[in-house]
Amino acid sequence: MTKNNSGSRSGIALPLVLVFSICVMVFTASLVFFRKESKQQNLTNVHFLQANFLAQSAVQMMLLKLSAFPQEACDAGVLSLGYCPFRGIIAGSELAPVAGANRQGLIDFYSDCNSDRFPWKVPGITAANWKFATTDFKVISAYTNPGERQLIISSQITALGEANLPRGEMGVRKEEMIKTVKLTREN
Amino acid sequence: MSAKSCYALILAFVLTLPGVFACSLPAEPCAAIVPINAEANGMKLVTEGNKFFYLVPQGTSASFKVVWDPAAHNTGGGLQGDKYDWCTKARIPFEAGTDKPNGYGYFPIQSMADFFAVSGNRGSVQEAFSRQMGVSLGNGFLPSLTGPYALLSGFVKPGNQGRITTLGGQSTEYPAPGWADVAAMSDTPVTGAIDDNFPSSSWNTFVIPLSTVRPNPPTTTVFPLSATKAVRIRAEGLLMEDIDMEISRIRPEDYKAFVRTGNPGAEIEVESNPQIVWSADGSNGTPGPNFNVTFNTPSFNGDKEQSKIRLKVWSPGAGFEISNIYWAWKETVYNKKSGRVVTQEEQRDASGTIIVPERSEMRDYWEASPATYMCSEELQLTLVKSAAEAGSTDFIVYDDKSPIAADFKITSANRNFLPTGPTPFDFTLKVLDTNPYFNKIFNTTISGVTLKQSIENLDLQVYYSYPHYQYSAAAGLDMNRLKTEGYGLVDLEDLSSNEPKFKGFKHEAKWAWKKADVSNLAIGSSQPLTGGTGRKAGAVTTITGKLNINQPRPWHECNEGGGKSVPEPKFKVFAISADSAGMKIAEHDAVKTSIGTHLLSDTAKPESGADPAACHDGAPIPAGDTQGQISSGQVDDSGWSNVEFLKAKDETGPEIQVVVFDTRTNRYHMFGTKQNVAAGFSEFGGEGLVEDYSTGDMPYLGKESNISGAHQFTDLSDINGLFDKYLVGPNAVSTIADDSQTGFVCQQNNRLVFYIRAVDNINGYLAAKQFGISALSCNLVEKNGAVVIADPPSPANMLKPIEHVFRFENVDNDGAVSPEYYLEVNATDHSNNSRNFKLNIAVLGKKLDIRTLEERRKRID
């Protein structure tokens, strides 16, 4: 005969099971929730990076163009300040600006640095979801260094990256990048 | 008359007549033609021994008259003082207005006629003749010993002329006309030729047999009349029966003036009214006695005797007309007969048979008529003073008139100016002159009058039209004005202003007549021209020589080749010349004085003045004062002369100038040369060629290679210095101002603007002619080769900017330039002359640096 001592120890198992079950349930729920959050986070990051690098593309395109056409960039910058683009700002000169600054040279300079002028060649990347553009190019300062016979122009490139991420219904994200560039031209 | 006395008389005549009849006629018709009031008409009487002549300036006119000249001037022998004395003793008045050469004057021709009308004291000419001769002319017979001429010429005095006329009558003593008659004669001169007209024993040359005897028949010589009739003439001679002598009836108008031929002076035209003819003996002379004579043509050729124009008078048969004289002869007539003559007798043999038949033949013989005929023919002998005798009024005409016109030709095959001068040209001047002896050179003095013909006397001057240039400065010129208006050389107006303002100039051509140097003058042979009388009245004489034009080829005008200047210029040349006697056209000295060595004149303008030479007053120089006297197809005598034209060909390329605008430094640099191709002599209007184009240092003439070299701006030896000059400044650079040939230095990535300008020395101001440029090309070369220039500048669109940025440096750290960067320009003018311009460019690697400073980003929703 089995002694039944069920009177004192028969109630602990259930709680233990319940507790265990609850714990498992909680853990499981936590796992599900964490995974969901992580996925959302990843989409957000990708969306940002996509827009950010699209903006970076516009900046790089501008830098490339600056490298190729530094003289034109200088000319356009000088013109935007109201000086004659054909008249260099000679160190030590007292050159009076002409009436009416005109930024058209700068606008013309950056106006083709965008994804609309360069159709995507990569399969799966569409112009509808991947866009970038230089939205502004302006001179923020210019001065001459008499000792070095240098004209120093500080300019700012403003670029916009625009990414549309349907997955996760992320939608359109726009990232603006502002790049400051110093052009030094020896006179 | 007994036979004895007849023979005595015949002997007396034979011995005395030739001598007696050879004496002077009692009064000879001795006439001359002399000028009236010779001295007053400009004739100078020159006497030399017993002779004289008149020295006459060309063009002299005077009244002439046939006069009685009993002293017989200019015969070469002594003057006939005794005959002259007849007149003076007879108190015959002198012909008014005539001279008295050698102290012997002239008398009216009518007086001579009247004198000859005087007969003997009883009105008998024969009596007068006999009294003068000292012989009594009776009847008689003069036998002919050597022929009729020898007999008849005894009547004719040397210097006179005898003429014989047959009258047809017969004498009483010789009544038959004769079978052998005298040939008819009418005023036939008594010369040896008349012997043939008379039947004389000399005719008896035909031998006839008088019988049939052969082979040696008796013969005689006869004159054959026909095949069957002949005559034998003998005892011929001159028979005088009641000789009749009359003096010719003289009328003044019967005296005929003529110019005696036989010397060169007789070849010269003498105009007269009525026209005096030229003749050897004057028989066809011009009846007078009054003439108006003009000596329009010089006769003096350096030899006094040859140059004399000899006016003489042919005297009619003034003298004696002797008639009732007969040529008489006896003639026997022979008739031809024939008779049979047995030449072989008949022979028979013994039987009587004829063995040799008789032979006979007909033989001719001439049988004389039994009668002898006394035949005669009446003659008339006229004794006249011969016009062939010396004794004339002589004239030497010397040149006193200018030439009429000339034909000027430049004979050099190449009529182009030489670039630097002097330019020699050969020329001829055909001069139409009234002097047939234009080409004769002499220097002599006759009676105080100097007659000289020489080359120096020509005083030949050659003038040509030539441009001078007056320059005017221009300033404040911008690119647009340079594109649309014509200017010569231009340069930056102010090197420190950095403004594209230029200075330049224009010029205006001022035309001048200039005197050419003339050398190697020679007078060619004269081609005589005949006047209305068919005698020499002038000549065309060709003068040859060389002219030197000291000035160089005109700089801004040309009329040869494809690039003629507009308007096309005429470089006119003309000549003026006196004749070899120094006689000048009226305007000769005026032209010479007014021009001197040069004369600015509107008449020298290319478009001014017609082809006939015109000079100081704009009107063509008129022909000489004897215009119309003669003419020749070789010379247009409507004015003095034609003009000839020279050629000028542009052989110089255009001038090229390049303006480089450095946008880095904002400076316009000027690349061009001081060689002044398009400028001519002046530099920016500072100078003008008022006096003489050939003076001064002309940088462009004959220095084409220098000019081409001066358009090479390739000197980059001092890179650092040039960098400072071009980029540090402070002034712009002009290779014209500093007369350098430096290249251009700039920085990498520096925009340059090139303005190209080309202008030619011909039509350099004419936009319609694209400033003289027909083609313009440019070539800009950098590291990658030739730069493609879209729509490059052209002659019609010069100064069109060419922009370029040199992206790559071509100067290493040691200053060596490689590869060569350059701008090359080639321009061609309308005469296909090209110029090459080269501007070397050194590009320094002074970089433009780009640095990124910061980067910011933000999300935009």
In chain B, the residue whose alpha carbon lies closest to the alpha carbon of A148 is B846
Q: Which residues contact A27 (CB under 8 A, 6 or more apart)?
A: none
Where in B531-654 does DSSP place strands (E)?
536-549, 571-576, 598-600, 644-646
Segment B747-782, tens digit of pLDDT: 887 789 999 999 998 999 888 899 999 999 999 999
Which amino acid is located at B184 in the chain?
A: A
Confidence of residue B451 (pLDDT cuts 50, 70, 90): very high
**Identity (one letter) of the amino acid at B820?**
E
What is the model's pLDDT at position B128?
56
Dihedral sign for Cα B180, B186, B192, B193, please. negative
CA atoms within 13 A on the CB side of B272: 28
Q: Say whether B853 and A67 touch across the interface (CB within 8 A).
A: no
Bigger pLDDT: B345 or A149?
B345
Q: Which of A70, A87, A178 has the CB atom closest to B848's CB atom? A: A70
User: B469, B516 in Cβ contact below 8 A?
Assistant: no
Q: CB A180 to CB B850 under 8 A?
A: no
Q: Which of B594, B629, B646 is the last residue of a domain?
A: B646
Segment among A123-127, B245-249, B289-293 with least mean pLDDT: B245-249
Are residue B427 and residue B534 in the same domain, yes or no?
Answer: yes
Q: Which of B667, B751, B755, B859 to mutate to test the interface with A (most CBs of A within 10 A)?
A: B859
Chain A touched by B847 (CB under 8 Å) = yes
Best A49, A72, A86, A150 member to test B by mutation, with max B CBs in 10 Å, is: A86
Please give the residue of chain A at the shortest CA–CA distance from B806.
A71
Q: Which residues of B touch A66 (CB under 8 A)?
A: 850
Q: Does A53 touch chain B (CB under 8 A)?
A: no
**Residue B174 domain-assigned (yes or no):** no
- CATH, residue B799: 2.60.40.10
Q: Tell me, yes or no, whether B356 lies in a domain.
A: no
Residues on chain A touching B848 (C-beta within 8 angstroms): 70-71, 74, 183-186
A173 and chain B in contact, CB less than 8 A: yes
A47 vs B: CB within 8 A = no
> Mean pLDDT across the stretch B384-400?
75
Residue B388's pLDDT band, with cuts at 50, 70 and 90, is: very low
**B731 contacts in A (CB within 8 Å)?**
none
Q: What is the pLDDT of residues A6-51, one digit of tens each?
A: 555 567 888 889 999 999 999 999 999 999 999 999 999 999 999 9
In a domain, B737, yes or no: yes
CB contact under 8 A, B859 and A179: no
Task: Answer yes or no: do B738 and B634 share one domain.
Answer: no
Contact at CB, A181 and B857, closer than 8 angstroms = no
pLDDT at B2: 46
Contact state of B856 with A183 under an 8 Å Cβ cutoff:
no
pLDDT at B21 over 60: no
Q: Is residue B287 part of a domain?
A: no
- Domain ranges, residue B830: 655-673+711-844
User: Minimal Cα–Cα distance from B549 to chain A, Å?
Assistant: 55
Q: For CA atoms B493, B497, B498, B501, give the dihedral sign.
A: negative
The burial of A95, by beta-carbon neighbours within 10 Å (0-12 exposed, 13-18 middle, 19 or more buried), is given as middle
Same-domain status, B632 and B781: no
B850 in contact with A, Cβ within 8 Å:
yes
Same domain, B642 and B663: no
Task: Let me know whether B593 and B661 are in one domain.
Answer: no
Residue of A87, A174, A180 lying closest to B860 (CB–CB): A174
Q: What percent of chain B has pLDDT over 90?
A: 44
Q: Which of B848, B860, B861 sits opposite A184 (nearest CB)?
A: B848
Whether residues B613 and B478 share a domain: the answer is: yes
- In whole angstroms, what is the distance from residue B557 CA to residue B604 CA? 14
**Residues B456, B581 share a domain:** yes
Residue B807 forms contact with A (CB below 8 Å) = no
Which chain B positions have a beta carbon within 8 Å of A70's beta carbon? 749, 848, 850
* Chain-chain contact of A177 with B856 (C-beta, under 8 angstroms): yes
Task: Specify whether B540 is located in the same domain as B626.
Answer: yes
pLDDT for position B52: 92
Q: Does B852 touch chain A (CB under 8 A)?
A: yes
pLDDT at B162: 85
Range ranked top by mean pLDDT from A102-106, B11-15, B126-130, B663-667: A102-106
Number of domains in chain B: 2
| pLDDT (0 to 100) of residue A53 | 94
Q: Which whole number is the average pLDDT over B607-619? A: 63
Which pLDDT score, from 0 to 100, does residue B468 have?
Answer: 83
Tell me if chain B has a CB within 8 Å of the CB of A52.
yes
Q: Does the CB of A148 have a partner CB in chain B at under 8 Å?
A: no
Tell me the ipTM for this assembly: 0.80
Residue B749 belongs to a domain: yes
- Tell me whether B3 touches chain A (CB under 8 Å): no
Same domain, B611 and B727: no
**Cα–Cα distance measured from residue B679 to residue B701, given in angstroms and rounded to the nearest whole number:** 12
Do the beta carbons of residue B288 and residue B253 sit within 8 Å? yes
pLDDT for residue B181: 86
Tell me the shortest Cα–Cα distance from A58 to chain B, in angstroms: 13
Say whether B852 and A154 touch across the interface (CB within 8 A): no
Task: Count contacts between A and B (CB, < 8 Å).
Answer: 86
- Contact criterion met (CB < 8 Å) for A87 and B666: yes
Tokens in use for B665?
A: 């430094």
Interchain contact A74–B (C-beta under 8 A): yes
Residue B39 falls inside a structural domain: no
Q: Domain check: are B463 and B600 in the same one?
A: yes
- Residue B343 pLDDT greater than 70, yes or no: yes
Q: Is the Cβ of A106 closer than 8 Å to some Cβ of chain B?
A: no
Which of A55, A71, A180 has the CB atom closest to B751's CB atom? A71
Which residues, including other chains, have CB under 8 Å from residue B531's CB and lie 6 or more apart?
A: B269, B271, B296, B297, B537, B538, B629, B630
- Alpha-carbon torsion angle B382, B388, B394, B397, nearest 10: 130
Interface test with A, best of B844, B848, B851 (most A CBs within 10 A): B848
Smallest Cα distance from B850 to chain A, Å? 4
- pLDDT above 80 for B690: no
CB contact under 8 A, B850 and A183: yes
Q: How confident is the model at residue B685 (pLDDT cuts 50, 70, 90)?
A: low
Q: Note the pLDDT of residue B9.
A: 43
Same domain, B558 and B610: yes
B685 domain-assigned: no
pLDDT digits over B705-727, tens only? Answer: 888 899 999 999 998 889 888 88
Residue B855 in contact with partner chain A when CB distance is under 8 A:
yes
**Contact with chain A for residue B853, Cβ under 8 A:** yes
Q: What DSSP string runs through B314-376?
A: E--S-EEEEEEEEEEEEEEEEEEEEEEEEEE--EE-TTS-EEE--EEEEEEEEEEEEEEEEEE
Two structure tokens written together for B162 = 């005898």
Q: Does A59 touch chain B (CB under 8 A)?
A: yes
pLDDT value of position A147? 65
Q: How far apart are CA B381 and CA B190, in angstroms?
A: 9
Structure token digits, residue B704: 């084409």
Query: Degrees (nearest 5) of the Cα angle B424, B426, B428?
Result: 145
Q: Rounded to whole angstroms, how far apart are CA atoms B651 and B704? A: 9
Q: Does A182 sit within 8 Å of B850, measured CB to CB?
A: yes
Which of A179, A186, A187 would best serve as a mutation to test chain B binding (most B beta carbons within 10 A)? A186
- Pairing state between β B309-314 and B107-108: unpaired
The pLDDT tens digits for B792-827 are 999 999 999 999 988 888 998 788 899 999 999 999
B433, B543: one domain: yes
As a whole number of Å, the CA-based R_g of chain B is: 52
